[in-house]
């Protein structure tokens, strides 16, 4: 079934809600930017970012390298944004909300927020014209910076608001940077009418980080959220609220800490739906994780044991939690469901998939 499943997972219409722009950079583009900048990074060092071995080079290191050494002009941001949306569209991603860290870009690359945002928005328009994909930008707080920098970033977003910017998130290492440090920034974001999400429970940090993000930051979604399985009662409360968790089948923390033969069996993703939680699979850092949207969805079956019928539910979870208007949501639910069911009934070779 493997080849047929791959075709099926590529063909189904998708939304992508958890993807970091700097984690989408093509290998060739990374090298081209490095060569142009005459950066101290060698080809071998860059190659190491794109290898998922026993101990892969940290993704966060690659992201920091891009801001620090390679992104020099707004056109660079246009290039990587356009290429990400082009690549996603090739895997039938119809709608993508992607994260970008303005603090790092402003401080390290020296590109002011407004100029950087305009370049990314221009790429969103170009990709929609050329490839039919709808892109939306989600500026993300750099949690390794200060709470004051987080609030400043939200103020940038509010002052230069574009309709393609739908909400904010928070990323980078959760260790020693709990969500409660950023309550002022999230309060300001809600006041500005922005949607909100937060990475929580990702790096093996306690489930209380998820609770803090939900209760104190009042987020609309949770990114990762795996340690919620350690608190079944609160997980059920999240389930009752209908909170969607954007999960990542290639999450590096569990690949590093669980034995190779056990990681997919013991990964919290496998247990989350059994607690009533609504989940939706995503790529996170697709080029650096060596995963495509098609492969992310296929892994939900191959590695985690979910059924094709489960994928249908995950697809609808994504639509329900996407930051789109209700009219678009209703239309896409009908279109996506019709397309999914047609593929599932007949497969791509005339054989049933369910």
Beta strands in the chain (DSSP E): 14-16, 93-100, 134-142, 167-171, 195-200, 221-224, 244-247, 278-281
- The CATH number of the domain holding residue 221 is 3.20.20.140
Q: What does the pLDDT read at residue 58?
A: 61
Cβ-contact 79, 29 below 8 angstroms: yes
Answer yes or no: is 66 within a domain: yes
Which tokens belong to 256? 């590093």
d(CA 88, CA 201): 26
Measuring CA to CA, which residue among 102, 48, 110, 103 is closest to residue 73?
Answer: 110
Residues 247-283: tens digit of each pLDDT: 999 987 888 889 989 999 999 999 999 999 999 999 9
d(CA 297, CA 300): 5
Average the pLDDT over 89-114 and give the result: 95
Q: What does the pLDDT read at residue 54?
A: 52
Residues 242-256: tens digit of each pLDDT: 999 999 999 878 888
Residue 42's pLDDT band, with cuts at 50, 70 and 90, is confident
> Distance between the two ends of the chain, CA-based, in angstroms?
11
Which residues neighbour 104 within 8 Å (Cβ) at sequence distance 6 or greater?
A: 63, 64, 67, 142
Answer yes or no: is 31 within a domain: yes
Cβ-contact 69, 34 below 8 angstroms: yes
Rounded to 5°, the CA angle 72-73-74 comes to 140
Residues 139-198: tens digit of each pLDDT: 999 999 999 999 999 999 999 999 999 999 999 889 999 999 999 999 999 999 999 999
Residues 316-344: tens digit of each pLDDT: 999 999 999 999 999 999 999 999 999 99
Residues 199-213: tens digit of each pLDDT: 999 988 999 999 999
Residue 60's pLDDT band, with cuts at 50, 70 and 90, is low
CA-to-CA dists, residue 176 to 93, 152, 172, 202, angstroms: 34, 21, 11, 13
Q: What does the pLDDT read at residue 255?
A: 82
Which residues neighbour 225 within 8 Å (Cβ) at sequence distance 6 or greater?
A: 200, 201, 202, 210, 245, 247, 272
Answer yes or no: is 46 within a domain: yes
Q: Does pLDDT of 236 surpass 50?
A: yes
Q: What percent of the chain has pLDDT over 90?
A: 79
Residues 7-16: tens digit of each pLDDT: 999 999 999 9
Answer yes or no: is 352 within a domain: no
Domain of residue 248, residue span: 2-346
Tally of domains in the chain = 1
Q: What does the pLDDT read at residue 53?
A: 56
d(CA 245, CA 64): 26
**Whole-number mean pLDDT of the chain?**
92
Q: What does the pLDDT read at residue 327?
A: 98
Cβ-contact 80, 25 below 8 angstroms: yes
d(CA 194, CA 162): 11
Q: What does the pLDDT read at residue 354?
A: 45
Answer yes or no: is 292 within a domain: yes
Q: What does the pLDDT read at residue 139?
A: 98
Answer yes or no: is 87 within a domain: yes
Answer yes or no: is 57 within a domain: yes
Residue 49's pLDDT band, with cuts at 50, 70 and 90, is confident
Q: Does pLDDT of 105 surpass 50?
A: yes
Q: Does pLDDT of 221 surpass 50?
A: yes
- Alpha-carbon torsion angle 79, 81, 84, 90, nearest 10: -90
Q: What does the pLDDT read at residue 59?
A: 67
| Higher local confidence (pLDDT), 65 or 143 | 143
Average the pLDDT over 80-102 and give the result: 98
- Chain mean position to CA 292: 12
Q: What does the pLDDT read at residue 2?
A: 46
Sign of the dihedral defined by the CA atoms of residues 205, 208, 209, 210, in that order = positive
Residue linked to tokens 């791509």: 348
Q: What does the pLDDT read at residue 93?
A: 98
Answer yes or no: is 354 within a domain: no
Which residues neighbour 279 within 8 Å (Cβ) at sequence distance 6 or greater?
A: 244, 245, 246, 247, 269, 272, 273, 314, 317
Q: Does pLDDT of 241 surpass 80?
A: yes
Which residues neighbour 29 within 8 Å (Cβ) at sequence distance 6 or greater?
A: 79, 80, 83
Which tokens belong to 38? 């005459």
Q: Does pLDDT of 98 surpass 60?
A: yes
């Amino acid at each position: 079934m493997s080849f047929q499943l791959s075709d099926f997972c590529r063909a189904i219409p998708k939304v992508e809600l958890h993807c970091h722009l700097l984690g989408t950079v093509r290998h060739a583009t990374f090298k081209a930017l490095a060569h142009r900048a005459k950066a101290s990074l060698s080809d071998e060092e860059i190659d190491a970012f794109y290898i998922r071995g026993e101990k892969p080079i940290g993704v966060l290191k690659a992201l920091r390298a891009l801001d620090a050494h390679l992104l020099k002009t707004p056109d660079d941001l246009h290039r990587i944004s356009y290429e990400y949306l082009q690549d996603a569209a090739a895997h039938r991603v119809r709608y993508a909300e992607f994260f970008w860290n303005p603090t790092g870009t402003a401080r390290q690359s020296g590109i002011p927020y407004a100029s950087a945002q305009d370049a990314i928005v221009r790429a969103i328009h170009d990709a929609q014209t050329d490839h039919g994909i709808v892109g939306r930008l989600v500026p993300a707080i750099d949690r390794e910076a200060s709470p004051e920098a987080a609030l400043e970033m939200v103020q940038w977003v509010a002052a230069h608001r574009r309709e393609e910017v739908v909400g904010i998130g928070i990323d980078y290492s959760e260790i020693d940077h709990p969500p409660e440090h950023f309550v002022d920034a999230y309060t300001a974001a809600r006041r500005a009418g922005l949607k909100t999400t937060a990475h929580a429970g990702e790096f093996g940090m306690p489930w209380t980080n998820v609770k803090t993000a939900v209760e104190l930051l009042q987020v609309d979604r949770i990114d990762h959220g795996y340690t919620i399985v350690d608190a079944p009662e609160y997980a059920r409360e999240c389930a009752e609220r209908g909170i969607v968790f954007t999960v990542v089948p290639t999450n590096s923390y569990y690949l590093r800490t669980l034995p190779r033969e056990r990681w997919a069996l013991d990964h919290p993703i496998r247990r989350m739906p059994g607690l009533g939680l609504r989940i939706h699979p995503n790529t996170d850092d697709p080029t650096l994780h060596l995963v495509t949207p098609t492969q992310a969805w296929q892994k939900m079956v191959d590695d985690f044991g979910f059924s094709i019928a489960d994928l249908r539910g995950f697809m609808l979870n994504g639509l329900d939690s996407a930051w789109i208007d209700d009219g678009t949501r209703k239309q896409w639910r009908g279109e996506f469901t019709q397309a999914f069911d047609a593929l599932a009934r007949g497969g791509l070779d005339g054989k049933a998939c369910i």
